[in-house]
Structure 1
């Protein structure tokens, strides 16, 4: 009998060995303990997360979970064309998880446990006015700190893009107001309540990286509750209000200085001699400069905005003014260069040669006109004396008449030049007042 049992045992061992060789692996039982030494952290994670359901809110359904929310802004970018504000920040979320509590003395005095963000429940805090349809969990992949009392701290770095109403009327001296509205997407206020992080209503700006274009002048957090017609429960949210001020120092050199040069060039044309063709050249160059700036504005600013920036309206007005100034320059040059067949009307000449002309600074031209009139009178007297002693030769009378006519035309031309200069002086005064009005109107 014993021999039969031994044979059976030997046959069993042989068959077992053959089956293991054919399967390619062997198993060895070493006992209930693992091959390596487990730490207190391993034991704590095993005890907390073994049967943990991360899809269930870690509280009784009749109790609410209070989530403290704060934000530390790091950097921001404003896009006028898309009407969006991109904020790079660190969120601070704190809540209590009743399932994640332990006695620190039972686990080697562990006072904090690092857990991956996908291993436990998280509040579904969304950015309500987000410009992209993504939850906060898709922006980050950072660990969460859990403390023995069940308090959970999560500080994820986030990149938030929000829709923002753009006001560009006072560009580049504009100020923008933007909001970031946070709230739970599916839980109402009786399930998830929102509160300020450490009861702080101001946003921490100590970590802000200096922005060359924008300065944050105001950043506050406001908690509010809303009730919708569909539901009786309140829906709390926390709104972060940001006030941004553009730094205009660079734009002063790029935009404001050329505007001053355009005004000076436009006014300078009225002080050139009335016969100078440089009037047309200066006005043409000024027109090209304004057109280049209009193209720059079209690339820098959205064309479909509700508000047109005042600086754009100023340059557009300057373009109209310079065009009218060019027309006036053509009239003045034509008047002063063309030979006039008629005398300047007395009703126009008398004020120009009087106090009004002196007030316009026409003294030199008035003297030239007066000397011309005096010479014309002398020439007429001389011509009369010559004709009185003439022996009746008709050819000589004809030559004298032609010379007298040429002298009269030159004297007439002086008067028309005087009128052309007066038009320039009056235009200069008018344009000074016009530019002053435009500057005041578009700077307020």
Structure 2
């Protein structure tokens, strides 16, 4: 009896729910729910949404928000978003059947997407460059997908003009598995737009462009399409003008000033040593600051290297000049050298003044160097001896000064050539 009553009651409840027209479902189904359910039933997101003999046209546009350039790794990074559009023949519907619904949002993992990846990517994985975002699907089957992107591509750096260099970096994008007869990759509008939210402190993007390429690879008869985004980056270098260029000018002036010190001055060695220390310090800085595997050596590094050679030679010349002028010479200089130094050549180098002042200076030096001799009856004898030796030493002082002046002119010419050669 109990079983009969339970079965009767259950049948009555079920029949009452089926008869009642105002009964509500367990959940509220919207037109969007019904549409997505109808569209995704049996939908294969891994199959291209077109017949195999038809082509899927995909248009792209890249918006850049921020850029970075890692010089040590030669990696260019671009942050922004990629707007891609295509038509999915399997995602069409009649708007009137779904309350006039014209578009619907779908997750990116729910439907087919073109496999647009980097050909020159610098990361080990190929699928982590797009962020998760919804796609906007229109009733006509047109799909718009604008995911946030983080591209990292290799960039061949040319540091020859560092720190006033300009670099050309590219992002090479295309379908990873489909050829041009399956996916037709097109550029939307200009293809790339600069909308930088944060300026890079070191690099300025002066130009950005997009180019579509079509290539054939033997023996495949189908074309392969790609889009290349080109970026021109100019280094911001106001600080480098003070840090690098100003010390270079100081090294030049100090090197040239060394040749105008008196021939007997030992400060020549000190000045050359300071110059060499400054140059070595900057070369060490360049070795730490610049990539060691760069294609071209920066011109500023070559200039400092050349300046170190010149300072080293200047050190050798200074030692020779000091030795000639301070060592007591017993033999006169050859007559042909003396003739040249006393002629027009000496006048051009300004040696006449040296020849007038040198005897008095030399006599005073000789008198200071002579030891006291109580057996000499007169000081005039010392003066006569000093005067007899003075002209010989004077000639060597003039010769040393002439070497300094000639070397000064040679160094001026060499520095001008280096400045022209290594200028930017």
- The TM-score with structure 2 as length reference comes to 0.86
Matched, 1:337 2:317: no
Aligned mate of 2:409, from 406, 429, 434: 429
CA distance in 2, matches of 1:245, 1:236: 30
Q: Is this contact kept in 1: 2:39–2:90, CA < 8 A? A: yes
Aligned mate of 1:141, from 125, 132, 137: 132
Q: Is this contact kept in 2: 1:168–1:308, CA < 8 A? A: yes
Q: Is this contact kept in 2: 1:366–1:418, CA < 8 A? A: yes
Give 1:404's aligned residue.
384
Q: Rg larger in 1 or in 2?
A: 1
Give 2:282's aligned residue.
293
Quote the offset at 1:237 in angstroms: 1.3
Question: Which residues of 2 match residues 175-190 of structure 1 at below 5 A?
Answer: 175-190=166-181
Moved more, 309-318 or 207-216: 207-216
Aligned mate of 2:147, from 138, 144, 156: 156
Residue 46 to residue 307, structure 1, CA distance change in 2 (3 Å): same
CA distance in 2, matches of 1:422, 1:128: 65
Quote the offset at 1:416 in angstroms: 1.9
Residue 422 to residue 54, structure 1, CA distance change in 2 (3 Å): same
Quote the offset at 1:62 in angstroms: 1.8
Moved more, 204-213 or 167-176: 204-213
CA distance in 2, matches of 1:202, 1:140: 20
Residue 402 to residue 366, structure 1, CA distance change in 2 (3 Å): closer
Q: Is this contact kept in 2: 1:202–1:219, CA < 8 A? A: no
Matched, 1:316 2:296: no
Quote the offset at 1:39 in angstroms: 2.6
SS at match of 2:208: strand
CA distance in 2, matches of 1:205, 1:400: 90
Residue 413 to residue 47, structure 1, CA distance change in 2 (3 Å): same
CA distance in 2, matches of 1:400, 1:264: 46
SS at match of 2:192: coil
Q: Deviations over 1:287-318 (max 9, x none)?
A: 11111111111112222333212111111100
SS at match of 1:188: coil
Aligned mate of 1:215, from 178, 194, 204: 204
CA distance in 2, matches of 1:372, 1:133: 77
SS at match of 1:182: strand
Residue 420 to residue 319, structure 1, CA distance change in 2 (3 Å): same
Give 1:392's aligned residue.
none
Question: Which residues of 2 match residues 371-390 of structure 1 at below 5 A?
Answer: none
Matched, 1:275 2:264: yes
Q: Is this contact kept in 2: 1:93–1:154, CA < 8 A? A: yes
CA distance in 2, matches of 1:275, 1:30: 120
Q: Deviations over 1:158-213 (max 9, x none)?
A: 1111122222222222222222221111112221111111xx24521234642232
SS at match of 2:277: helix
Moved more, 431-440 or 228-237: 228-237
Q: Deviations over 1:296-352 (max 9, x none)?
A: 111122223332121111111000000010111112222222222223333223332
CA distance in 1, matches of 2:145, 2:36: 18
Quote the offset at 1:8 in angstroms: 4.4
- The TM-score with structure 1 as length reference comes to 0.83
Q: Is this contact kept in 1: 2:62–2:191, CA < 8 A? A: no
Count of residue correspondences:
404
Unpaired stretches in structure 2, ≥5 consecutive residues: 9-15, 365-374
SS at match of 1:203: strand
Q: Is this contact kept in 2: 1:353–1:366, CA < 8 A? A: no
Q: Deviations over 1:69-103 (max 9, x none)?
A: 11111222222322221111211100011122223
Question: Which residues of 2 match residues 225-244 of structure 1 at below 5 A?
Answer: 225-244=214-233
CA distance in 2, matches of 1:363, 1:114: 95
Unpaired stretches in structure 1, ≥5 consecutive residues: 1-5, 14-28, 377-394
CA distance in 1, matches of 2:138, 2:343: 96
Quote the offset at 1:7 in angstroms: 4.7
Give 2:236's aligned residue.
247
Give 2:423's aligned residue.
443
Give 2:353's aligned residue.
364
CA distance in 2, matches of 1:396, 1:244: 83
